[in-house]
Each structure stands twice: as C-alpha cells, then as structure tokens.
A and B are shown apart, each in its own frame.
Chain A
Amino acid sequence: MKLSFTVEQEAFRAEVAAWLDEQLSGPFADIRGITSQTAAAQRRQDWEKALGVAGWCAIGWPKQYGGRDADLAQQVIFAEEYARARAPGRLGHMGVELAGPTILHFGSEVQKERFLPKMSAGEEMWCQGYSEPGAGSDLSNVRTKASLEDGPNGKQWVIEGQKTWTSLAQFADWCFVICRTVPGTKGRDGLSYLLVPMDQSGVEIRPIRQITGEGDFNEVFFNGAVTAEENVVGEPGKGWQVAMGTLSFERGVSTLAQQMNFSNELAAIVDSANSNGQAQNPMIRQRIAKSWRGLQTMRASALRMLSGAETGALTGPQYTYKIFWATWHRELGELAMDVLGQAGEVVSTDYDLPDLPRMFLFSRADTIYAGTNQIQRNLIAERALGMPKEPRG
C-alpha cells in the first residue's frame, strides 16, 4: 500500500499537465473552467476531437481502438490533471466511460471496430437510454419495445417508446437503449441492449428544464426509429446483464476527476469564507474541516475501489461509494450557500447562476440519479450485508 507516484509516473503527469495547459491557454482558452453540461457545446465537441487527435480521449483503452493501454496509476494521474487544469466537462463521457467499456466487454469484434475508434477520436457523442416515466428506480419495468422487421438494407430493429432524464441527448450521435424485444415478457427477461442512431426522423428530443433553469436532461421519443440488426450488444433478450455491466463502469476512474472538481469547489468555498469573514465563524470552520475530511476519505475510497476492481466480486467501497459522494456533495452545496449568505442567492435577470449556487441546486440530483440513496441502501443491505430481501410486488 503506497500513495506516492514513481519518477516515471511523475514524468507522465508533467506531460499531461503541459499538454492541457498549452491547449487551454491557447486554442481552447475560451472553454477553460466551463462546468455547465450544456454551455458552449460546439466548442466542447471540438475539444473532444482535439483530445482524440492527441490520444487523450480514452487512455485506458487498448491501443488498437485508439487508447493508450494506460494503467490505473496513469489513468488516475490523467483524471487529476484534467480537473486541476480546469478543463471543460467532457461532452463525450457517456461514450468513453459507459458505452465504450460496455462494447469492449460485451460487444462483437465488428461492433468494436465500428464504434470504438470513433469514440476515442472524439467524433461521435453518446447518450444513455435507460429511465422511462414508469421505470426509474424499478429500471427493469421498461416498456419501450423493439421488433426485428424487414428494412431496405436487410433486417432492422424498429423501436417504439419513450425514455426520460436522458443527459446530453441533444448533442448525441448514438444512444444505447434498453428495450423489450421479446413480447409478453416482464422484468429482467426479454430485454435487449440496442445501439440506435439519433439523427433520424423516428427520434424526437425534448429538453427538460431543470431546477437550475438549464436543460441538461431530455425526453427522447422513439416513434418507429430504426437501427440495423447487428446493433444489439450481447444476445437479444439478454440485455439486462449488459445494462448492469454498463452501470458498473460508472464506478470507474472518472470518479477521480469528479473529485478534483469537488476539490476545486471546496477551495472556492474556502476563498469565499476568507474574503467575506465567515472564516471567523467557528461553526463554518468546523463544517469546512468536516467537508475536507469527507473529500480526502472519498479519494482513499476511490483508490481502494479501483485497486480492487480487477478481482471480480464487489468490495465494500464499491457498494458504498455512490451514496457517500452524493450525500457529501449535497452537503457541500448547503455549506457553500451558508458561507455565501444572501449574496449567494442573487441571480441575473436571465437566471444565469454563478458556479457555487448552481452546484447547490444541481447537487440535489446527485442523490437521485444513478441509483437513489434509498436504492443504494437497499443494495448495500441486501447484497453487501446479506439482509433479508424486501418483498416485491
């Protein structure tokens, strides 16, 4: 057990930091520090391509698909430097972190050749078609359905239904969709994992205005949308396992980049407290110290989680990480507002929010998406602790 990095790893860190700083002081200076998911989308798409050209888009992937075969320590370093450089939020993250690893793990050779190089080149953006109006926490209750029919170029899947809370759908070229392909089934049986192109007449996207006033999420309607027969990952009807595999990739190295963003937010809170005098308030000092403790702990938990990721069975930190960071971050938002006082509530006439107040509002989503705190507690109690199961209807 060791925290320090080797000389070679520190050299890699310097290389990453130098490249990021050069780009973000030069051609991409205009998007440095953007934390909003939706702002400057076109420029952030250009940024994805620049990352791709330089080979920084998906460094943990095999070289043959555009990665660098980077080991865990290198991925940790890249994630940390990315956030430290205040590089913009990744428009490509649904592809690089969720769709890509899923295809690498469950996909056919043809699918790997078709999809992975485009993702690692930053050329194709992705979104996730999981939740539906009637399938939130109870995800296996999806009602979107697809059937295999004859099309102009052979067999194709025809999709009918609605997805919701689909982040970044308005910028996506592809969506991975869980839908029912075996008529008459329910629950986890009979689902398939389809890869569906977004640019077609059968797909309609409506943004959902959220608590911050912005529209990160969308409703996505599939009205006779189509995709080729071969665009199913894993066996048709066995999509649930693939869908769960994707969720497990959410516990990846990107959590470290997220933590560096949290660290930037905490530093901004400390600055505010120093300048507006709240640093003299013992209650605030206590809460800031507690927040720092949580942040350090989270980093250690992430390293434990990632170090154990190769061994298969889920470990303690893998079960508990999501609820811990989500709850921590929500409290950070409350702390930020308490430090800022009334000044933190001031908005512009078009409701454009400064970073910390936006974070305060956005963090209410943290304990809901990717498994609510209540669902997380069920998983921890029933799977990790082996407690008796809740009766299901």
Chain B
Amino acid sequence: MQFEFTEEQSMISSMLEEFSQTQGTSERVRQAMESELGYLPEVWQSMAGELGLCGLLVPEDAGGQGLTMIEMALVFEQLGKTLLPSPMLATAVQSVALLNALGDQQTDLLKRIARGEVRTTVAVCQNGRAEYVLDVCSADVLLLVDSDQLFLVHADQPGVFSGLDITPVHIMDQTRRMGQVVVEDKALISTGKIAEGDEVLKAVDAGLDMARIALGAEAVGAAQTCLARTVEYASERVQFGRAIGSFQAVKHQCADMMVAIEAAISAVFFAACAVSEDLAQSRSMAALAKVHASEALSFCSARMIQLHGGIGFTWEHDAHLYFKRARSTATMLGLNFDLDEVIAADIGLNPMGATA
C-alpha cells in the first residue's frame, strides 16, 4: 500500500504538462476546433510519434511501453488542462484496452498503434447503427461491435469505410469530433470478424472502463484550469475598492471548487490503481472516476463563468470551452445517471424490480 507517485510517474506528468501548455494555447486550441479534422496534425504527430503516447498501454512485446492506467491518467490530466484536442482517447485508451483484453491475437494492430501509424476507434452498434462514435471521421481502423461480434474495418481513406456510412455529427463542444456509423453491407464487414461471444463483451467493458478513467483524468485537469484562472481573475479584479477575491462570497466559491477538484483527483487515481491491480469493484471505481470528475468539471466551469461576470459569457473568453467540455464529458461513455446505476447494482442494493 503506497499512494504516492513514483519518480517516473512524476516525470511523465511534468513532461506532458510542458507539452500541453506549449501546444495548447488558447489560439491553437481554437484553431484546432475550427478545423475540419478537429485537431492539429503536427500536434498529433508529436503525441503519437516522438512522445509515443499511443504505446503507453500497449504491452512491451507488442512494441509498447507496457505502462498502466496511472501513467495514462497523468497524461490525460495534463491534456485536459488546456483542452488540447486529439484522437488519443479513442485510439490509445479505448481501442488499446479493448485489444489488450483479447489477449495477444491483435499484436500487429497494437504494434501499429504503438508506432503512432493508425488512429482507431470503437463503435458499439445496435441494429447496425452506432451514434456519437468518437473520432470516427478521422479513423484509419474501426473496431466495430455488433451484438457479441467484433469486426475490424480498415478505412479506404481516413473516415471512409467500404460497407459503412459515416456521417459527422457536430456537437456543442467543438473540441471533440463525433460521427454516426451505419452498417450498409453486413456481408462485407463480416469478412473482418476477429472475435465473438463473451470475450468481446468483456473486452468492450475493459475498453470502456479505461476510457472512463482517462475521461475523468482529463476532466480533472480541465477543472484545475477553471479554478486557477478564476482565482487569478478574482485576485486582480477590483470592485468596491477591493479585489473581489477578498470577499467571502467569492472566495468560498473558489474553495468549493478546490474541494471538488481534490476529491476528483483522489477518485481518478484510486480508480486507476484499482483497474491496474484488477481489484474487486474496479468497474464501479471506473464509473465513479468518470462521474465524480465530470461533476467537478461541470461545477468548476459553471463557477468560472459566474465569477468572471460578463466577460465569462463571451465567445472570446475560454470559459465557455470548459463549460462545453463539461457537458460532453457528462454524457460520453455512459450518462452519469446511468453509471450511478452501475454502482448501485454493485454495492448490495437489490436489483430494480426485485421484491423485498
């Protein structure tokens, strides 16, 4: 039992902090979100190439670094601080965790991901359709799940797949890209079947758990920026002859933001440990990390707007970017309310519909 970061983990964190702060200036984030791709190709090249971030969770014998969700959470915390857009979550976390859970059968694909050659994502279909699929419009490989079957679909060119109809879906949070997937030619897709049965369902869950923790870590990073910027503003802005941050009505709100953030940091890294060590209740832990951090970001970004006054309501100020990021975080990878039901069913409450 040891709950401090190792020296290596601290190094990863400070390396990513520098990268995120340099690459994720407000100007560049806005440039990325206004582009069709949704991220800056040169930034992605650095992340996937030089920094090797896509290989973090890939086992060493598949050319990765074989690290854990703790290191990955540290990476996402820093990326979240600046909202720096990239297809990291879909590729390096959700897809890799899913493939890892299948054992060593997809080593070639994992190797390519680790080398930063391909962008991948996961589409879980119902009746041949999947909505709000993350980064599908720029993906090179799609992991398509239909009932308990898993298909590998290679793109003809990024975001274009034979047998699938892909439509971009533009959402309120412009720092993320999503799309709708419709299976048009099932027979064609079926040639890429790589697994079926329980192992697919388990692998999908593994991918979701890891992605929820990464999403939580990202939200925690974003919330920290909301607080830092609000404290800075409240300490400078003068009204009634005093910095507004000296009023308890203002400073207590900042204190509440810090309380929410510290709790969310604890939740995220606790969950990261739990999945890394495969502890009991790690599904619920992953759900808790996502929900807690998502709530912290919703709270902090809303307070950020309120405490900035009118300027916080403008397009020019970054507050709305964080506020909108909070919204997409709350609904992605499972609605917060639904994740609480995952927890409720796991902690001894009788299932819904049971009689006392």
In the assembled complex, the Cα of A19 lies from the Cα of B45 at a distance in Å of: 59
Question: Is residue B187 contacting chain A, with contact meaning CB distance below 8 A?
Answer: no
Is there an interface contact between A320 and B252, defined as CB atoms closer than 8 Å? no
Question: Is residue B6 contacting chain A, with contact meaning CB distance below 8 A?
Answer: yes
From B18-26, B53-61, B238-246, give the one contacting chain A. Answer: B238-246
A190 to chain B, nearest CB (A): 28
From A117-125, A234-242, A243-251, A303-311, give the one contacting chain B. Answer: A303-311
In the assembled complex, the Cα of A286 lies from the Cα of B340 at a distance in Å of: 6
From B129-137, B138-146, B171-179, B273-281, give the one contacting chain A. Answer: B273-281
Knowing A5-B1, A297-B270, A388-B243, the reply to whether A316 touches B277 (Cβ < 8 A) is: no
Question: Is residue B81 contacting chain A, with contact meaning CB distance below 8 A?
Answer: no
Q: Which residues of A contact B279 (CB under 8 A)?
A: 3-4
Q: Which residues of A contact B292 (CB under 8 A)?
A: 293, 297
In the complex, which of the residues B4, B266, B347 contacts A301, with contact meaning CB atoms closer than 8 Å? B266
A383 to chain B, nearest CB (A): 10
Q: Which residues of A contact B6 (CB under 8 A)?
A: 1
Mask of A151-190 contacts with B, CB within 8 angstroms, 1/0:
0000000000000000000000000000000000000000
Knowing A288-B349, A376-B255, the reply to whether A385 touches B1 (Cβ < 8 A) is: no
Is there an interface contact between A301 and B262, defined as CB atoms closer than 8 Å? yes
Question: Is residue A317 contacting chain B, with contact meaning CB distance below 8 A?
Answer: yes
B303 to chain A, nearest CB (A): 13
Q: Which residues of A contact B284 (CB under 8 A)?
A: 292
Question: Is residue A84 contacting chain B, with contact meaning CB distance below 8 A?
Answer: no
Is there an interface contact between A389 and B246, defined as CB atoms closer than 8 Å? yes
In the assembled complex, the Cα of A376 lies from the Cα of B274 at a distance in Å of: 30
Which of the listed residues A72, A73, A380, A389 has the most CB atoms from chain B within 10 Å of its own CB?
Answer: A380
Is there an interface contact between B246 and A387, defined as CB atoms closer than 8 Å? yes
Q: Which residues of B contact A282 (CB under 8 A)?
A: 341, 352
In the assembled complex, the Cα of A86 lies from the Cα of B183 at a distance in Å of: 57
Q: Which residues of A contact B15 (CB under 8 A)?
A: none
A195 to chain B, nearest CB (A): 35
In the assembled complex, the Cα of A146 lies from the Cα of B329 at a distance in Å of: 59
Which of the listed residues B231, B291, B348 has the most CB atoms from chain A within 10 Å of its own CB?
Answer: B348
Is there an interface contact between A296 and B270, defined as CB atoms closer than 8 Å? yes
Which of the listed residues A1, A279, A320 has the most CB atoms from chain B within 10 Å of its own CB?
Answer: A1
Is there an interface contact between B291 and A308, defined as CB atoms closer than 8 Å? no
Q: Which residues of B contact A273 (CB under 8 A)?
A: 349
Is there an interface contact between B350 and A299, defined as CB atoms closer than 8 Å? no
Knowing A4-B279, A288-B347, the reply to whether A385 touches B262 (Cβ < 8 A) is: no
Is there an interface contact between A391 and B246, defined as CB atoms closer than 8 Å? yes
Which of the listed residues A4, A277, A300, A380 has the most CB atoms from chain B within 10 Å of its own CB?
Answer: A300
B282 to chain A, nearest CB (A): 10
Question: Is residue B344 contacting chain A, with contact meaning CB distance below 8 A?
Answer: yes
In the assembled complex, the Cα of A317 lies from the Cα of B259 at a distance in Å of: 8
Question: Is residue B315 contacting chain A, with contact meaning CB distance below 8 A?
Answer: no
In the assembled complex, the Cα of A152 lies from the Cα of B274 at a distance in Å of: 63
Q: Which residues of B contact A267 (CB under 8 A)?
A: 348
Question: Is residue B343 contacting chain A, with contact meaning CB distance below 8 A?
Answer: yes
Closest to A310 in B: B4
Closest to B227 in A: A385
The 21 sampled A-B contact pairs (Cβ below 8 Å) are A2-B273, A271-B348, A280-B350, A286-B337, A286-B344, A288-B347, A292-B288, A297-B267, A299-B270, A307-B2, A307-B4, A316-B258, A320-B259, A377-B251, A378-B251, A380-B255, A385-B251, A387-B235, A388-B242, A390-B246, A390-B248
Task: Given A2-B277, A380-B259, output 9 extra A-B contacts at Cβ < 8 Å.
Answer: A2-B3, A3-B273, A277-B356, A285-B352, A286-B340, A292-B347, A297-B288, A317-B262, A387-B235
Residues of B within 8 A of A (CB): 1-6, 9, 70, 227, 231, 234-235, 242-243, 245-246, 248, 251-252, 254-256, 258-259, 261-267, 269-270, 272-274, 277, 279, 284-285, 288, 291-292, 337, 340-341, 343-344, 347-350, 352-354, 356
